[in-house]
Amino acid sequence: MRKRTLGATGLEVSELALGTWGLSGEGYGPVEEAEQDAVIDRAIALGVTLFETSDSYAGGEMERRIGFRARIGRTPPPIVVATKIGTDVNSSPVRKRFDAVWLKEAAERSRERLKRERIDILLLHNPSVATLARGELKDTMASICESGVARTWGVSVGTADVASEAVSIGAPVIELPYNTFHRREMVRIAADVKEKNIGILARSVLSYGLLCGEWPTGHTFPYGDHRKERWTQAELKRRIVQLNALRPSVLLDVTSLRAVALRYVLSDTLVSSVVLGPRKAAQLDQLLRDAGKEPYLPEGGRAALENRLRAVGVDV
């Protein structure tokens, strides 16, 4: 497993990370506990050192499970954990909370569930631009780090505007969606990422399975699968047709559309780690095979792919 530095944080992380939202049973449907354990154990065995989770995933259960599995026969745990806070799952309805008292208490609860001396990377979980712009969040997160509860902090963003605001308040780490069909957040902040040496965690690299290229144009999703509400049938059909732009990149050791999508993000040297979301251990094995070896894409392959994407109507 190759490793990369996480910006200026001093942390070294595996270039592939295990994300646990899908594994928690939220978003795609239930996952057996034995399978959850198998995926986490397999990731550790394969050399994955970065695990991404949230205090809201299964009500904190994924934090507990990562903390427990990492300690089995291992002292100290050879992993880095990035967890997200800022969601009050006990309120009705569930709401975002980013006040200082709540965040400090949430960080302590996450540390306890993870059973770690300190949280490696503590991320604000999808705050709004207005929330970040208030200014006190930077001081709050710095205080949490200074107290020893976390090593470093950052922001998990969902839009380009929030990504830009996270840069402006000095976030050392930013987690963002980034794939061949969705590049606007990364494009918006790329120059600042390079100049300020910000650590980048790229999520949604397969666009929730779309970029694997395995769905027919009339594909539908079952009840309980978040993708049922993510795209209209017309949008999904258009996206599936646009996958044709990736097909010329399937050559030599790049054996599938899934591999093209994964290697496209890995080929960006500004990315510190790519967050994967397998729900089975066999899926994790396949993704590691898909990642292949450097160079991830042939010379000129990245630019050629971007040109084809623009030609079919996919742009930043």
Q: What is the pLDDT of residues 41-66, one digit of tens each?
A: 999 999 999 999 999 999 999 999 99
Q: What is the mean pLDDT of residues 4-17?
A: 98
Q: Per-residue pLDDT for 77 more than 80?
A: no
pLDDT for the residue numbered 78: 81
Residues 265-306 have pLDDT tens digits of 999 999 999 999 999 999 999 999 999 999 999 999 999 999
| Cα-trace Rg, the chain | 19
Q: Domain spanning 3-209+258-299 has what CATH number?
A: 3.20.20.100
DSSP H or E stretch at residue 230: helix 227-230
Residues 89-132 have pLDDT tens digits of 888 888 999 999 999 999 999 999 999 999 999 999 999 999 99
Q: What is the pTM of this model?
A: 0.96
- Banded pLDDT at 74 (limits 50, 70, 90): low
Give the relative orientation of helices 100-114 and 136-146 as an angle to the nearest 10 degrees: 40
pLDDT for the residue numbered 71: 87
Take residue 186 and report the two structure tokens written for it.
């990364």
Contact residues for 143 (Cβ-Cβ < 8 A; gap 6+): 100, 104
Give the start-to-end residue ranges of the domains of the chain. Answer: 3-209+258-299
